[in-house]
A and B are shown apart, each in its own frame.
Chain A
């Protein structure tokens, strides 16, 4: 589903990724960990094409990203669900609209939108908050809205960048449980985090990065 082959990414002052190679199969749930500046976010950016690698090949859902034209990027991103540390919710729209926007972008018919949004909100147990605005929700609830938005389009891959970074530690386990439920339905999930508690004894694969190098790839 996601393959890196000798991928390197250089910035002006430093190298973010050095000859990175790994393969994530369809339906896997994988954690990427490492200290700040180790290259976790850069790795995710290469997957969703916010950045392009300088060397090597990245393949996502069968697409070799280096060969993709700019006009094809939206189509690639429609295969991916995003969950960010800062949630990236639209604060002038209610929870329903925040989730529905992902479907509207894809041109989903209005009558399907309602059912699918409520299904997603049920998954993250926020069905009752559909009329609330993000500012009226707790950090954990906002992150669950972001997850609902990521899954509502039934993507093949979900990328999560520090999904528990802005929420209380005791809520983190709940977020990971939701990801596991989604993964159980066959969605590939890649979570970048520096919080070891999230993957400790999870039985999931963990890629460890340090200064842009892949230093370990093992099941915890």
Chain B
């Protein structure tokens, strides 16, 4: 199927219809570039949201009047959990001190209290992998069941919002990338379709002369693949220019840009993606060949 003659036919057609092909390559490159930028943004937002839970902690409030032994048992029980990374016991006296220092000038609200109303508590840092809305909920339920634990508090609101933001950005990003994929596929499809229509009579003659379906398809598949590949290659150049001449330079002056990650291996896939989409678009454009 992929004979030297098929490559020759494809090369002749690429040169003969150079303006259509060039326009298609540029359109594909722009689509890929926009798609890569979106993926780049989603990737970085995802990374940033993953870093946020590092500051996440869970507060376990203990019941009043627990004996020293009971307190020790509760802390030990919490520490034994696999998901727990760090446990810090905060006596209620320390808590009230902290509250007073927090309230500063308004600490008069605590005047008149005969005894410390705050409970003893344990601040727990969970391992990074376990910080997801569902798993944290389960962990909190489990901690509530430990003897001596009165209440468990965690940033449910924070986790819910973080979760929603992550899902929202990922969904929007994925939808946009799929649309761009469709766009690229359509450009490859329509380019090959136009070329196929233009050569319809030639193809009919080929069929009469005994050409197989593979022989007829091959030059168009090569053409589609070439258009897609060069579109991807051009967008790769665009992405590299964008990163090395803008982001990297900005990171020298603006510290925020230093934390931006560049998935260098992934962008190398752009020409490969273009190649695959080009062939797919061409296959759809040629459709079924009938004799």
Q: Which residues of A contact B (CB under 8 A)?
A: 48-50, 70-71, 73-75, 77-78, 80, 82, 88, 90, 92, 101-102, 104-107, 149, 153
Contacts and interface: CB of A to CB of B under 8 A. Distances in A.
Contacts of B290: 70
A79 to B, nearest CB: 8
Interface in B189-213: 201-202, 204-213
B210 A75 contact: yes
B5 A104 contact: yes
Contacts of A74: 207, 210-213, 291
A71 B290 CA distance: 9
B291 A105 contact: no
A80 B207 CA distance: 12
Tell me which of A49, A92, A101, A105 has the highest count of chain B C-beta atoms within 10 A of its own C-beta.
Answer: A105
A88 B205 contact: yes
A78 B210 contact: yes
Nearest to B291: A73
A105 B202 contact: no
A211 B5 CA distance: 44
8 contacts: A48-B208, A77-B210, A88-B201, A90-B205, A92-B16, A101-B209, A105-B209, A105-B211
B245 interface: no
Contacts, number: 45
Given A74-B211, A107-B3, A101 B291 contact: no
Given A50-B291, A70-B290, A74-B291, A101 B208 contact: no
Given A77-B208, A102-B210, A104-B5, 9 more contacts: A50-B208, A70-B291, A74-B210, A78-B210, A90-B205, A92-B16, A105-B210, A106-B210, A149-B209
Contacts of A105: 206, 209-211, 215
A82 B208 CA distance: 8
A49 B208 CA distance: 9
A50 B290 CA distance: 9
B196 to A, nearest CB: 15
The 9 closest A-B pairs by CB, nearest first: A78-B210, A77-B210, A73-B291, A105-B211, A74-B210, A74-B212, A88-B205, A102-B209, A104-B5
A135 to B, nearest CB: 15
A156 B192 CA distance: 36
Contacts of B209: 77, 82, 101-102, 105, 149
Contacts of B16: 92
A28 B45 CA distance: 79
Nearest to A49: B291
A149 B208 CA distance: 12
Contacts of B212: 74
Contacts of A106: 210
Nearest to B208: A82
A88 B3 CA distance: 24
Contacts of A78: 210
Contact of A88 (B5, B208, B210, B213): B208
Nearest to A159: B208
Contacts of A102: 209-210
A153 B100 CA distance: 102
B7 to A, nearest CB: 12
A92 B198 CA distance: 12
B251 to A, nearest CB: 54
A77 B201 CA distance: 17
A75 B207 CA distance: 11
A27 to B, nearest CB: 22
Interface string B111-146: 000000000000000000000000000000000000
Interface string B266-291: 00000000000000000000000011
Nearest to B201: A88
A48 B205 CA distance: 13
Contacts of B207: 74, 77
